Amino acid sequence: MTETASRTTIRTGILPAVLVCAAAPAFFVLEIPWLGWALLALGIGVSWFVERGRVTASGPSLTRDLSLIAIGLLIVSIIPLAAELDNLAMLRFTLALGGAVAVPYVISRFVYRDRAISFPWRTRKRWGRLQWGWLVAVLVLGWLILPFYFITSGVYQNWPVVDSPELIARLFVGVGAVGIWDELFFICTVFALLRRHFPDMVANVLQAIVFVSFLWELGYREWGPLLTIPFALLQGWIFLRTHSLAYVVTVHLLFDAVVFAVLVHAHNPGLLPIFLV
């Protein structure tokens, strides 16, 4: 694609992409389902109108790729995202979040017959000193920042009280599972699909809108976006540098390990006397 054609594609495609990604805050922040549905329909409709005269063989279809993102968002939006630890809630999360990754992947691979969505777990490159150093930094920064955020803002109360070994174990599994899902959906699905049509920086900002909106309903409220926006953008950037799902998942799980410990500490003062707050 020539530079002029690329600029034209960005100019005509950015509006429908923004509309589709804006459905995420409609669903998960404002919690107005009809607005999310309208934004998804409008975004895909505008994309189809823009692309209707194009030859599909000339490149990936923005309409198809936005439809995959829309399907994932619709599936996630059908369940409440408030953190709960009972069997029914965990089953509900498993089916909805799993479906939001699996359904777009199956449609992309077997209906659209492309490989737009993939999960590059490992690469042949070893992690360097910078990568290992960042893993340590994630733990240190989490230890310093997260207790202050969760406890002083009171957002830890958005997660259920965990005052028994069983509930603590359920919280550990739930936090880790959602963390892995975040990378499968926001990075390997949403970000990957958007990168087929926009520069990396633009695609990263758009996926961050979706990522942060989901985290808001999950419980990262008050001034949480000051933490979750940089985190979402960094995860996209790290994936671009490493092309390794294993690495971004490791980063996320280390972050979530601190989140888990902080939640246990907040609900059970004195049980984990390792934090400054």
Distance in angstroms (rounded) separating the CA atoms of residues 68 and 107: 8
Q: Per the domain annotation, does 272 fall within a domain? A: no
Contact at 8 Å (CB) between 21 and 205?
no
Kindly report, residue by residue over 203-242, the tens digit of the pLDDT: 999 999 999 999 999 999 999 999 999 999 999 999 999 9
Tell whether 219 is covered by a domain. yes
Model confidence at 2: pLDDT above 50: no
Residue 44 lies in a domain: yes
Flag whether 125 is in a domain.
yes
Residue 273 lies in a domain: no
Report the length, in residues, of the chain.
Answer: 277
- Residue 124 resides in a domain: yes
CA distance 177 to 121: 16
Give the pair of three-digit tokens for residue 16. Answer: 């429908």
pLDDT in tens, 24-55: 999 999 999 999 999 999 999 999 999 886 64
Residue 207 pLDDT: 98
- pTM for this predicted structure: 0.92
Average pLDDT over residues 132-150: 96
Q: How many domains does the chain have?
A: 1
Shortest CA distance to 253 belongs to which of 139, 96, 130? 139
Question: What is the distance between the alpha carbons of residues 41 and 55, in angstroms, rounded to a whole number?
Answer: 23
pLDDT at 8 over 60: no
Query: By residue range, what is the domain housing residue 140?
Result: 3-267
Q: For position 6, what pLDDT does the model report?
A: 53
Question: Domain for residue 275, yes or no?
Answer: no
